Amino acid sequence: MIGMDKIREAAEEIGGIVHRTPVLTSMRLNELAGNEVYLKGEHLQKTGSFKIRGASNKVLKAVRGGASHVVAASSGNHGQAVAYIAGKSGIQATIVVPEDASPVKISAIEAYGGRVVRCGLTSAERIPEALRIAKESGGVFVPPYDDPDIIAGQGTTGMEIISQVPGCEAIFVPVGGGGLAAGVVCAVKQLNPDILVIGVEPEMADDTRRSLEAGERIAIGPTGTIADGLRTSIPGELTFPILQDHLDLLITVSEKEIAAACTFLFQASKQVVEPSGAVSVAGLLSGKSGIAGRKTAAVLSGGNVSPQGFTEILKA
């Protein structure tokens, strides 16, 4: 468990950089979900996702320590965040991405000044390559999720939800490597342990579900889920024990349910949310959590999707 002192410290560190993202509501969503729902708009966050929170916390500390180059492994959103904050800090950034990374995310990384290196299809391939580049170049590796500073930064999302949604009873959060979910769990369970934290993961990328059932970290192979930001091959060494001990429930959702959630958010709320960011709403609408009549928050974790890709999702 990352302590509230570190999460509050992260909030101070990144306060001048990140947005305090809005909370959105939808009467139609309330009706369909059977809950009073509040959508935490991290898709409206700087660089288009929550990742800027953890990345800023880590990179700014590295810069103070004398770093002139940072290296990250990312399917896109983390890489964008690292490239952005590195550029703002006047240092170099190299981002190792999968061979099938989203073109819109690659373009954004490069627009922020990051150098892109392609490697493999899974996080198990990207991360060693990023570590190698960091070692050879003397750079600082910025993990996508498995790092106390990253988790603390993501935990500021949970802090904001509690202050923005008084009386919140449950929070749905996407699960990939576990950085966001672990951060939210750490903040929420220390501030109000009665709030349920429910993780949502794609059925096609269910490494956390399998790991929780096995009681240990389980690796899976490459996946083609449309939720490209959640295509991790194994839960993090740091994030998994946190989720194992403190996550109240983990549910999985199908590709069809994810696409339907993206479509619903666009039609009902006029919000463009990428599939990885919409899995929380997919989980909420699936009814698999078994909760009803609660004041509920759902984290829309990102909005980085190309017009062409989003059009295909809407057709699904």
| Cβ atoms within 10 Å, residue 31 | 10
pLDDT (average), residues 296-310? 93
Q: What is the DSSP string of 266-285?
A: HHHH-----HHHHHHHHHHH
Q: What is the DSSP string of 7-41?
A: HHHHHHHHTTTS----EE--HHHHHHHTSEEEEEE
pLDDT at res. 40? 98
pLDDT at res. 12? 97
pLDDT (average), residues 269-291? 97
pLDDT at res. 300? 98
pLDDT (average), residues 184-208? 98
pLDDT at res. 102? 81
Q: Write the pLDDT tens digit of every residue in 19-58.
A: 999 999 999 999 999 999 999 999 999 999 999 999 999 9
- Say whether pLDDT at 75 is over 80: no
Q: Write the pLDDT tens digit of every residue in 212-259.
A: 999 999 999 888 899 988 988 899 999 999 999 999 999 999 999 999
- Say whether pLDDT at 183 is over 90: yes
- Say whether pLDDT at 123 is over 80: no
Cα gap 303→165, rounded to integer Å: 22
Query: Boundaries of CATH 3.40.50.1100 in the chain?
Result: 4-50+147-315, 51-141
- Say whether pLDDT at 177 is over 80: yes
pLDDT (average), residues 263-274? 96
Confidence of residue 103 (pLDDT cuts 50, 70, 90): confident
Q: Write the pLDDT tens digit of every residue in 141-157.
A: 999 999 999 999 999 99
Confidence of residue 288 (pLDDT cuts 50, 70, 90): very high
- Say whether pLDDT at 126 is over 90: no
Cα gap 78→111, rounded to integer Å: 14
Alpha helices (H) along the chain:
4-14, 27-33, 51-64, 77-89, 103-111, 123-137, 148-164, 179-191, 207-214, 239-246, 255-269, 275-286, 307-315
The domain made up of 51-141 has a fold known as Rossmann fold (3.40.50)
CB 234 within 8 Å of CB 208 = no
Q: What amino acid positions are annotated as catalytic residues?
A: 51, 301
Beta bridge partners of 73: 96
The domain made up of 4-50+147-315 has a fold known as Rossmann fold (3.40.50)
